[in-house]
Amino acid sequence: MEALRIAREVGGTDLGRLLRTLAEFLRDEAATRSEPGGPAEPGP
């Protein structure tokens, strides 16, 4: 949410790009966590 505050402070012209980048990051993180042996699963 800090990124949204910063985008607003600088005029919000890149807000769409910021939200797309954030969504992509969250999708990638979710995919990584769902992989076997990913960071969300305990190790052996």
In a domain, 23, yes or no: yes
pLDDT at 24: 93
Q: How many domains does the chain have?
A: 1
Is the Cα dihedral 16, 1, 24, 21 positive or negative? positive
Mean pLDDT of the chain: 76
The whole domain housing 7 covers 2-34
In a domain, 43, yes or no: no
Q: What is the pLDDT of residues 18-31, one digit of tens each?
A: 788 889 999 999 98
In a domain, 25, yes or no: yes
CA dihedral 10, 7, 14, 11 (to 10 degrees): -30
pTM assigned to the model: 0.53
More confident residue, 15 or 21: 21
